[in-house]
């Protein structure tokens, strides 16, 4: 198996794309329940599993593409730093859990993910991507959305990138720490 280039849409998206509602900070995070690959096993996960913890839910377009593995591996390799501050990570795409399983079982030198510490959640029905406002309906894939959810299930940060540009692990970590600092001390220097 090899990576394929991510096909970038240069067409105007249809009305369904234009009118999706992107959840905003201070709102309750949209609930989800789906199959995920965790430690090379397929398990069901849901938002309520993360109650009492900070959570970063990040969407990526599809398995076996060029940018996606580097970004997911970067988050995965630093999962311990997030865990130390009571924050969990979930990666999600509209691929099936079977595709995720295949990608995880493909060695990194062959553009696979290899061993993963974080759940890779399937959104094959596209309902999760749609509820988080990141689904490109016409293409059936998600934009690169990142959602920071607090221990009470409230959105604290929302960002969405176009397809070709990934997210910064350092910035995600900084955001979690900044919101945690604010929760504990009020306004201050982050």
State mean pLDDT over 64-81.
Answer: 88
Per-residue pLDDT tens over the stretch 142-187: 999 999 999 999 999 999 998 888 899 999 999 999 999 999 988 7
Q: Measured in whole angstroms, how far is the alpha carbon of residue 52 from the centre of its chain?
A: 19
**Residue 4 belongs to a domain:** no
| Predicted model pTM | 0.87
Burial class (CB in 10 A: 0-12, 13-18, 19+), 94: buried
Please report, to the nearest 10 degrees, the dihedral formed by the alpha carbons of residues 106, 107, 109, 111 taken in order. 30
**Residue 34 belongs to a domain:** yes
Q: Give the pLDDT confidence score for residue 5 in this predicted structure.
A: 35
**Residue 137 belongs to a domain:** yes
Cβ contact 128:44 at 8 Å: no
CA atoms within 13 A on the CB side of 127: 7
- Which helix (H) or strand (E) covers residue 161, if one does? strand 155-161
**Residue 155 belongs to a domain:** yes
Q: CB count, 10 Å around CB of 9?
A: 14
**Residue 7 belongs to a domain:** no
Query: Catalytic residue among 68, 113, 128, 141, which?
Result: 68
pLDDT-derived band at 4, boundaries 50, 70, 90: very low
**Residue 90 belongs to a domain:** yes
Q: Give the pLDDT confidence score for residue 7 in this predicted structure.
A: 40
**Residue 16 belongs to a domain:** no
Q: Which residue has the higher pLDDT, 12 or 134?
A: 134
State mean pLDDT over 78-99.
Answer: 97
Q: Is 68 a catalytic residue?
A: yes
Per-residue pLDDT tens over the stretch 10-69: 444 444 445 678 999 999 999 999 999 998 899 999 999 999 999 999 999 998 876 668
Structural domain including 166 reads 26-185
- Structurally, the chain folds into a number of domains equal to 1
**Residue 86 belongs to a domain:** yes
Q: Residue 108: which CATH number?
A: 3.40.30.10
């Amino acid at each position: 198996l090899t990576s394929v280039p991510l096909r970038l849409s240069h067409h105007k998206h249809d009305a369904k794309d234009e009118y999706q509602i992107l959840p905003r900070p201070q709102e309750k995070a949209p609930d989800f329940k789906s199959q995920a690959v965790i430690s090379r096993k397929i398990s069901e996960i849901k938002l309520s599993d993360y109650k009492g913890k900070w959570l970063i839910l990040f969407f990526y377009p599809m398995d076996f593409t060029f940018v996606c593995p580097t970004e997911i591996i970067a988050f995965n390799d630093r999962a311990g730093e997030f865990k130390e501050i009571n924050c969990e990570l979930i990666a999600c795409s509209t691929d099936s859990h079977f595709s995720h399983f295949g990608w995880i079982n493909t060695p990194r030198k062959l553009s696979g993910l290899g061993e993963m510490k974080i759940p890779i959640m399937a959104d094959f029905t596209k309902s999760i991507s749609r509820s988080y406002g990141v689904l490109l309906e016409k293409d059936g894939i998600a934009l690169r959305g990142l959602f920071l959810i607090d221990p009470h299930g409230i959105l604290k940060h929302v960002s969405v990138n176009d397809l070709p540009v990934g997210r910064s692990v350092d910035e995600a970590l900084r955001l979690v720490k900044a919101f945690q600092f604010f929760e504990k001390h009020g306004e201050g220097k982050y």
